[in-house]
Structure 1
Amino acid sequence: MAEKVPVKTIMAILVENRKETAEKVQKILTGWGCLIKTRLGLHDGVLDNCSDAGLIVLELVGNPEQHKELCDKLNKLPGVKADYMELSFDQK
């Protein structure tokens, strides 16, 4: 029996106008929290100099239909662009 090749799904979310958009993005991510294995949030600046744009990187579990639905919900928000990809190693 062939061993199953592990597949990793990674989603990247660009967020503009973080001050206005972050709460809506957070609400969606909380609702889909069981799919999120790892989350990394990045933005430039600290303290008084925070940038108004950010990047969130997610490692997802679950099935491709769930990943697409989450991505579609995020992309409906103004100022948010989400996309995802699957990564795997081919066994030889």
Structure 2
Amino acid sequence: MLDRILAFARDHMVDDVRDWWRWWSVRLLALALALQTLQLTSPDALVAFWHTVPASLRGFLPGWLDDLITVLLMFAALVARHWKQPAPPRSPSS
């Protein structure tokens, strides 16, 4: 049963799955996941981080941004997944 599931997954993966970590969509989703996890596990840590950002920089950011940051990161990941990215360099042995 597990063999069939793994075979199905292999057959339906993108061709360049070995380079998943290079995709901007994956990077943005990982950042959104990390922020969401940090917010759920230790919300005080995010507040402490926010207070370390200089007030002049915080003034440039709209007030609603803190409520929607993970949503915006996930939307950016959707856009990045459809954006043409350069192929990663391959070593001669690959």
Answer yes or no: same fold by TM over 0.5: no
Task: Compare the two structures and name the one with the higher strand fraction.
Answer: 1
Task: Compare the two structures and name the one with the higher helix fraction.
Answer: 2
Q: Which of 1 and 2 has greater Rg? A: 2
Task: Give the structure-1-normalised TM-score.
Answer: 0.24
Task: Give the structure-2-normalised TM-score.
Answer: 0.24
